[in-house]
Structure 1
């Protein structure tokens, strides 16, 4: 088995419960970790034998572009789509951070993290 990580995927998205957030948007950072079997690809050196991190990034960017009120909802969609599209993934950890959130304080980011295993 092995782990593939995509660190600090940056997007500009429109998530949040406030009406203003749906209009002005905000910066987000997503960190993704997937568990898969890397033994075959480590021997064959062939992209078809591994999980393509270009596809992982594409899924994250597409799901971040769909407005949601809650970061948990966005993370759940990312997890669901990865499991649906990539059969070899057995576990996913995704963290979605809203940078400089409008919460009335000096807070660098708010982050939710979810971990799911394939059934």
Structure 2
């Protein structure tokens, strides 16, 4: 079993419970870790034998473009698509961070972490 990490995908999106968050939008960072058998790809040197990180990136960008109130909701949608579209993935972890959240304090980011497995 191996791991593929796609770290800090930068996305501008419109998530949040406050009305102005969905209008103005903000910056997000998304990191994806998936566990899958990678030995075949290590031997074959063929993209079809591994987890395509271009596909992972596309899923993140597409789902982040759909507004939601909660980051947990967006993260679950992303995880559901990863497990649904990439059959070699056995387990996945997702970190979704809102940069400079509107919480009346000096906070760099808030992050939620969700995991899913087959």
TM-score, L = length of structure 2: 0.99
Equivalent positions of 1:76-115 (< 5 A) are 76-115=76-115
For structure 1, list consecutive stretches of 5 or more residues without a partner in the other structure: none
Structure-1 residue corresponding to 2:67 = 67
Structure-1 residue corresponding to 2:44 = 44
Q: Which secondary structure does the structure 2 equivalent of 1:69 belong to?
A: coil
Q: Distance in 2 between matches of 1:82 and 1:94?
A: 10
Structure 1 consecutive aligned stretches of length 4 or more whose deviation exceeds 4 Å: none
Structure-2 residue corresponding to 1:29 = 29
Structure-2 residue corresponding to 1:3 = 3
TM-score, L = length of structure 1: 0.98
Q: Which secondary structure does the structure 2 equivalent of 1:42 belong to?
A: helix
Q: Distance in 2 between matches of 1:116 and 1:77?
A: 11
The offset of 1:116, in angstroms, is 1.1
